[in-house]
Amino acid sequence: IGRLFGKKVVLNYHSGEAEDHLRCWPRTSVPIMKLADALIVPSPYLVDVFRKFGLQATAVANIIDVGRFKFHERKPLLPIFLSNRNLYPLYNVACIVRAFAIIQQKFPEAKLRIAGDGRQRAALEALVRELKLRNVEFYGLVAPDKMSDLYDEAHVFLNSSNIDNMPGSILESFASGLPVVSTNAGGIPYIITHERTGLLVPKNDHHAMASWAIHLLESPELAESIAHNAYEESPAYT
C-alpha cells in the first residue's frame, strides 16, 4: 500500500520473540519485512537476530526520561526487592517469588514489591501463600508517573523473564541507582555486563537468582559499583 501511494515504509519491530516468529513463518514474515524501506529495532540483539534471516535492521535504542528518576545510593543496602513486569508466562515472575523464598530464609525481614498485572496474578498470589512468604505486596498496574516512587523505595531490582529484548524497567533501574539481578534472556546481555552493570543468571533458575541477590546484600562494595556503573550507562538511552 505504501508503494502504491509512493510512501516510504518504516517497520518498527520490538518483540523479544523475533527469532521464533521468523523461524515459524519464514515464507510470509521475511518477504514482507524485506518490502519495508527501513527496519528499525531497539537493540543490537535484534539486529543480530534479523541478520540470521537475511534482513538488515538498524538499532534505535529504547529511551528513558532520566528526569523522572532519582539516583541515590543505598547505604546500607537493604533486602527490599522490586519486580516491574506484567504477570504473564514469558516474564516468569514465579521465578522471582521462588527466589525470594530462599532470600527470606536468610533475611527474614526481606520485602518483595511486585508491580504489574496479568492473568497469572491469582496463581502468583497462591504461590506466595503456599510458600508462606511475608512482606510480599502486589501493586497491580502502576501509572508511569508513580513508578519512580517504587524505584526510589526499592534497593534491588529483580527480573526473571524467559523471553526479552530491551526491558525499559531495567533501564529505569539504572537511572534510579538500583542494582539489577536478571536472567540472561534475549537482548538483556546486550545491556547488562555481568558484575559490571548488573548480575546475570540463567533463565528459570531461582536458586541462582537468590544466590546472586544474597551475594549483593553481603557485598555492599559490589552493589555500589554496579549501581554507579549502570547509572553511567543511562545517557545512552536518552
Give the pLDDT confidence score for residue 134 in this predicted structure: 98
pLDDT (tens digit, 9 = 90+) per residue, 90-139?
A: 999 999 999 999 999 999 999 999 999 999 999 999 999 999 999 999 99
Place of cell 533501574: 173
State the chain's mean pLDDT as an integer.
Answer: 95
DSSP the chain: -TTTTT---EEE---TTHHHHHHHSHHHHHHHHHTSSEEEESSHHHHHHHHHTT---EE------GGGS-----SS--SEEEEES-SSGGG-HHHHHHHHHHHHHH-TT-EEEEEB--TTHHHHHHHHHHTT--SEEEEES--HHHHHHHHHH-SEEEE--SS-S--HHHHHHHHHT--EEEE--TTHHHH--BTTTBEEE-TT-HHHHHHHHHHHHH-HHHHHHHHHHHHHHGGGG-
Short-list 217, 152, 148, 145, CA closest to 181: 217
Give the pLDDT confidence score for residue 66 in this predicted structure: 86
Q: Is the pLDDT of residue 82 over 90?
A: yes
pLDDT (tens digit, 9 = 90+) per residue, 186-196?
A: 999 999 999 99
Provide the whole-model pTM. 0.92
Cβ–Cβ under 8 Å, residues 159 and 135: no
Give the confidence band of 16 by pLDDT, cuts at 50, 70, 90.
confident
Give the pLDDT confidence score for residue 141 in this predicted structure: 95
Give the pLDDT confidence score for residue 131 in this predicted structure: 98
Give the orientation angle of helix 168-176 with respect to helix 220-233, to 10 degrees.
110
Give the pLDDT confidence score for residue 144 in this predicted structure: 87
Give the confidence band of 145 by pLDDT, cuts at 50, 70, 90.
confident
Q: Is the pLDDT of residue 36 over 90?
A: yes
With 0-12 / 13-18 / 19 or more C-beta atoms within 10 angstroms meaning exposed / middle / buried, residue 121 is: middle
Distances in Å between the Cα of 139 and the Cα atoms of 61, 72, 86, 117, 236 are 28, 23, 11, 8, 30
The DSSP bridge partners found for residue 136 are 112
Give the confidence band of 85 by pLDDT, cuts at 50, 70, 90.
very high
pLDDT (tens digit, 9 = 90+) per residue, 187-233?
A: 999 999 999 999 999 999 999 999 999 999 999 999 999 999 999 99
Give the pLDDT confidence score for residue 6 in this predicted structure: 94
Give the confidence band of 173 by pLDDT, cuts at 50, 70, 90.
very high
Give the pLDDT confidence score for residue 48 in this predicted structure: 96
Q: What percent of the chain has pLDDT above 90? A: 90
